[in-house]
Amino acid sequence: MKEILGGELDLAFKELNIKANKTFQSKHNNTDFTQVWELSDEDFEKICNIEEKDWKDDWGWWRSSDGSNILGNPICKIKINNNDITVYYDEKRIEQYIEDYLEKDYISEFKNEEEARNQLFKDYFSEKCIYKTFTEYCCNQWGASTEKNVCAIAVEIAILNNITMGELFNKYQG
């Protein structure tokens, strides 16, 4: 079984006689990431073998991935769509956030720099890492907005949380 991220694939699967299970359909029209589908390995291979020139304009689009090359620590829980989820975070982004506050003499409120850093780390995840949607997390935390990159991150985060990509998008994309 293989999961893909896509949009407007219903007609393609009908015309190609592919038995696919739509596990996510966005309720919002303002996003490009509208569908997640499960396909058998054979049907996945079938769409992979269709050359770009043979893919019809009204068949929509799709992307798949085996994961991503996210570098980070999968140790933080954040809120996406008002639900807790374990995610990777960008250590450089957090370090810059902490350094910016330490320069503002934030450390004087604490016993030492380590205590200030620990509190800032907690503040970053409780205040700065609250996202309305999963794709907002991808874009704001990783700068990922293309279908290929969002799909790769979605696969990785789904694996990290022991859920399917369909479950991920249903709960965290809305």
DSSP type of residue 53: G
Q: Are 20 and 9 in contact (CB under 8 A)?
A: yes
> Using CA atoms in the order 85, 89, 93, 96, what is the torsion angle rounded to 10 degrees?
90
Counting residues of the chain whose pLDDT is more than 90, the rounded percentage is: 52
Domains of the chain by residue range? 2-70+134-172
Of 37-46, 87-96, 146-155, the least confident:
87-96
Q: Which of 70-74, 79-83, 126-130 has the highest mean pLDDT?
A: 79-83
Q: In terms of C-beta distances under 8 Å and separation of at least 24 residues, what long-range contacts does 138-144 make, across chains too?
A: 141/87, 141/89, 141/90, 141/93, 142/70, 142/90
Please name the residues in contact with 46: beta carbons below 8 A apart, sequence gap of 6 or more. Answer: 16, 18
Question: How far is 123 from 76, CA to CA, in rounded Å?
Answer: 12
The model scores a pTM over 0.85: no
